[in-house]
Structure 1
Amino acid sequence: MQGMFTITKHALDEGMSQHVLVVYRHVVATIIIAPFALIFDRKIRPKMTLSIFLKIMLLGLLEPTIDQNLYYTGMKYTTATFTSAMCNVLPAFAFLMAWALRIEQVNLRKIHSQAKIIGTIVTVGGAMLMTLVKGAQLDLPWTKGYDALASTGSSLTKQDPIKGALMITTGCVCWACFIILQAITLKSYPVELSLTAGICFMGAIEGSVVAAVMERGNPSAWSVGMDYKLLAAVYSGVICSGIGYYVQGLIMKRKGTCFCDCF
């Protein structure tokens, strides 16, 4: 996950459209996961119903489309480190939603429930600290020359931590909703590979609509060469979407929603 933050931030700073990145990421994920789903789930895949289809559409809208467009835009306004730290609020949101929906039980007399509550307070507090407190810049060996590089125009978006934090936080709320809905969907459609392929496919379609609107009149935004833009799409598509959604589904079925978030 940390590798995705770094690679993606570099691609965005080099001028890649965050909206186009969302599309390419899930096109790659669909191409990789769909063949495995067709082969390994062909004998166990339940019948597709309208209810399941609508849930997959909503899953594709929540995480691949809304969350990642906000997430990448927020990353443009901040840094990879800041984005990584802000994502720690995800378990807190998911825990609160799971508790409100009675998916997660809370008993204040039990240690594991107390730990979850303390963890929620700590993660939200840490995110607030990262957002509101601006410390001195660390002059590390690998950051030398960054200011000069930024002044020449390689970083195309002005830094705005508050705006970036709001976008990332909103994205995390959508991500938490996605996790809850994924757990619910797996109960009626318990085929992780097929569900992952469906989510990635719907994410690519819905993301294409958003990208077409946001990048209208700018066809060059869709161009990708043998550079960090292509690496960001392939790495995030294969590791973070394709494998990520699949492994997330496996963990949910065995350990529960909140364990998956913390993991």
Structure 2
Amino acid sequence: MGGRSPFAALFNGLNTMKPYLAMVSLQFGYAGMYIVSMVCLKHGMSNFILATYRHVVATIVIAPFAIVLERKIRPKMTLPVFLRIVALGFLEPVLDQNFYYLGMKLTTATYSSAFVNMLPAVTFILAMIFRLEKVNVKKIRSFAKIIGTAITVIGAMVMTLYKGPIIDFIKSGGAVHQGTATESADKHWVTGTILLLGSICSWAGFFILQSFTLKKYPAELSLTAWICFMGMIEDAIVSLIMVRDLSAWKIGWDSRLLAASYSGIVNSGIAYYVQGVVIRQRGPVFVTSFSPLCMIITAILGAIILAEKIHLGSILGAIIIVTGLYTVVWGKSKDGENSETDVKCNGLQELPITGNAKSITDDDDDINGPTKTSSLKEHKKYSLPGV
């Protein structure tokens, strides 16, 4: 170890940073999606049709990469795995995105992105229900996760029940300010908040089910392509039921095409794949812990591009939510220091957060034989190295 060169140490440090850089980059992608989608929805495009086109684009972009890069390592499709993919396509492409678009139309892009900060807390609750998280109130790390979840819910209630005065960070003309204030007063904030909460619950369920599915079908690109394809079909069925006017499907060289292309490539195709890779190594709580960065980026872009005004209640609620969020993350990080010991002592299944992929692979080899182990090791060639 004393002979390791500084270059090797730097390389290892960059590998360690890759999951962080990947998740930070995704937050910029999500912030752009919120703004572009809001512009598109304001121009009259149906949220159902937008979600459908989004996954048409995602399927076209991702499927060729999945077919070529994973042709030798793709597991055989089974009925249980296919049913999980159908459920994944319904949870995220259908429920989450349509609930989110509807909620964003009734509130603002900034408010919606701030409310998404509840996602880690909801994911933690579902992980507890499905026995993917251990809770022992006698230990400080478990107590921190419980308290952090409660604080996050309180912050969401503050955002919902208290609007307060408008905080104008970027000064604009009086006419725009007055029009926006009047428009905001007419928004159905409670209904929009309920829809956003439904979106978050669906999204959290997607992460949990994706974590289970990757254990049976460890091919991130292929799974991403299947999710986008099933989401496209299910969204199309819902759209045909909800939108009877066929002219609403027309799309040209405008904000509709931009929103569908951008969200399909960045937020469905790339995001599903990157999240799948990171989830296998760090767990869903790690993936969702970067959402506050998206809120900050969206607030800045929303104020500049959409002339959105931020209410004091949204700021206070967001601060409370972020406080609770990082309390949960702190407790989760303490889990990482004791995860191997706890698993050996208690025999409990826990989502990996330390990135120790080798130990997980070796355990699988003992249980399931060498075939699964070699498949996983071969598959790592197409994963993000060091994640």
Normalising by the residue count of structure 1, what TM-score does the alignment of the two structures yield? 0.91
**Match in the other structure for 1:244:** 271
**Match in the other structure for 2:205:** 177
Deviations 1:191-218 (A, max 9, x none): 00000000000000000011111111x1
Q: Relative contact order: is structure 1 or structure 2 higher (C-alpha 8 Å, sep ≥ 6)? A: 1
Of 145, 149, 153 in structure 2, the residue corresponding to residue 120 of structure 1 is 149
**Which residue identity is paired with 1:59?**
L
1:76 aligns with 2:105: yes
1:50 aligns with 2:79: yes
- Aligned ranges 1:108-257 → 2 under 5 Å: 108-141=137-170, 144=173, 145-146=175-176, 159-216=187-244, 218-257=245-284
CA contact (8 A) 1:85 1:127 kept: no
Unmatched 5+ residue regions in structure 1? none
Aligned mates of 1:210, 1:80 — CA distance in 2: 24
**Which residue identity is paired with 1:2?**
A
CA contact (8 A) 1:60 1:200 kept: yes
**Which residue identity is paired with 1:237?**
G
Deviation at 1:121, TM superposition (A): 2.1
Relative to structure 1, the CA distance from residue 30 to residue 149 in structure 2 (aligned partners, 3 Å threshold; closer, same or farther) is farther
SS of equivalent to 1:212: helix
Aligned mates of 1:210, 1:55 — CA distance in 2: 19
- The alignment yields a C-alpha RMSD, in angstroms, of 1.9
Aligned mates of 1:86, 1:11 — CA distance in 2: 21
Aligned mates of 2:248, 2:199 — CA distance in 1: 23
Normalising by the residue count of structure 2, what TM-score does the alignment of the two structures yield? 0.63
Deviations 1:29-67 (A, max 9, x none): 111111110011100001001111111001001110011
Relative to structure 1, the CA distance from residue 13 to residue 54 in structure 2 (aligned partners, 3 Å threshold; closer, same or farther) is same
**Which residue identity is paired with 2:74?**
R
Q: How many residues align?
A: 257
Of 30, 33, 36 in structure 2, the residue corresponding to residue 7 of structure 1 is 36
Aligned mates of 1:69, 1:21 — CA distance in 2: 9
Larger radius of gyration: 2
Aligned mates of 1:258, 1:140 — CA distance in 2: 32
Of 22, 25, 30 in structure 1, the residue corresponding to residue 51 of structure 2 is 22
Identity of paired residues, percent?
51
Unmatched 5+ residue regions in structure 2? 1-29, 291-387
- Aligned ranges 1:82-121 → 2 under 5 Å: 82-121=111-150
SS of equivalent to 2:58: helix
SS of equivalent to 1:45: coil
SS of equivalent to 2:167: coil
